[in-house]
Structures are given as C-alpha cells and as structure tokens.
A = this chain, B = another copy of it.
Amino acid sequence: MPGANYFSGSFTHRIDGKGRVSIPARFRALLEDQGESEMMVIPSYKDGVMEAFPRRVLEGIFERLEEKDPQSEEVEDLATYLFGGANTLSFDKDGRVVLSPELQEAIGVTDQVVFMGRADRFYMLSPERSKEVLEAARIRSREKHRGALAPRRRAPLVQVASLPDEDA
C-alpha cells in the first residue's frame, strides 16, 4: 500500500442482499489518502462498465474544461453527462458502498462485481464483461504497443507505461 499511486489489479467481490459491496482495501486506501470517504461512479462510454473516480478528479475534469470554454455546447453536454449521470457512493466504516438496483442493472451484475484498477480510476463491471474488456485490451495492446512493456532506456524503476485510451 505505501506509495501506491494508481488503482491496479482486479478484485471480485460479492453483493449482499442489501446491495452492499466492499471496496477492495487497496482502492479504499488510495481514496482515503486523498481524504475522500466517497467515490463517484458514472456509466462509461464503454457498455456495461461503470467508472469510479475520487470526486475531485471528476470535478477537476469539469473545471478544467469549463475554464477553457464555459459556454460551448460541448462543455454543456459534458457537464450534463458528468453530473447528471454520476452517483455519489459514500462508503461506511467497513468500506462498503451500496449499489442501487439501477446501478446493478446498468452493468448487469446480480451477485458479484469486479473492481478493475485503471490508473487514476477503476472500473466496476460484471465478471464476464471484465474478462472481455481485459482480453480485448490485451490483444489491441499487443498489436499496437509491442514495446510498451519492454525496459525503457532511461526509465526509472517505477515508471508506468502510459497506454492510450482504448476504443469502445
């Protein structure tokens, strides 16, 4: 945990009768490092995937864009999408959040959720979908970024390869 900067790894957790799920301890620790006891989830551009952010990351995205061009239709749409589509999930002392039936349905989960780290955020999706997403990303990465995992000449030990956004 100490020094972890990014969400990484995949964890499958169980949803109980009330819709509660434990956030993976590592993810929770990362959120709490930033003084947040909540996260924001929003449907991804990818189908069947929810993205989870610390709140300030989401707000930062918005503020940065608004600063640039407050009136534009694009920023309007983005604000609607980000803030209208977002849910704030605050976790209790045990590190659990409640997934409303709508949220469960949105990502097609019933009794298990996968938390998949993805740098500054993480995904929440069904076990099946997570395999697809991971495998698709692996294949595309192999094709386009053969060298990504090779040692870099000047790279420090902890350097993380920055992969571009994959396509839906």
Interface set of A (CB-CB < 8 Å, partner B): 1, 3-10, 26, 30, 33-34, 40, 43, 45, 51, 54-55, 57, 59, 61-62, 65-66, 73-74, 76-88, 90, 116-121, 123, 130, 133-134, 136-138, 140-142, 144-160, 162-166, 168
Q: Does B9 contact A119, Cβ atoms closer than 8 Å?
A: no
Q: Is A119 in contact with B165, judged by CB distance below 8 angstroms?
A: no
Copies of this chain, whole number: 2
Listed residue (A117, A123, A157) with the most chain B CB atoms within 10 angstroms of its CB: A157
Q: A78-B145, A80-B134 are in contact. Are A156 and B45 (CB under 8 A)?
A: no
- Are A162 and B157 in touch, CB under 8 angstroms? no
- A61:B165 contact, CB within 8 angstroms: no
* A62 and B137 contact, CB distance less than 8 A: no
For A156, the closest partner residue in chain B by CB is B5
Query: Which has the most chain B C-beta neighbours within 10 Å: A45, A62, A163, A166?
Result: A45
Which of B9, B43, B119, B144 has a CB less than 8 Å from the CB of A138?
A: B43
Residues in chain B near residue A120, CB distance under 8 A: 151-152, 155-157
Choose one: B54, B85, B118, B153; the contact of A83 (CB below 8 Å): B118
CB of A84 within 8 A of CB of B10, answer yes
- Grouping DSSP codes into helix (H, G, I), strand (E, B) and loop, the A interface class, with mixed when no group exceeds half, is mixed
Min CB–CB distance A104 → chain B (angstroms)? 16
Question: Residue of B at shortest CB range from A117?
Answer: B83
B80 touches A118 (CB 8 A): yes
Q: Would A30 and B141 count as touching, CB distance under 8 A?
A: no
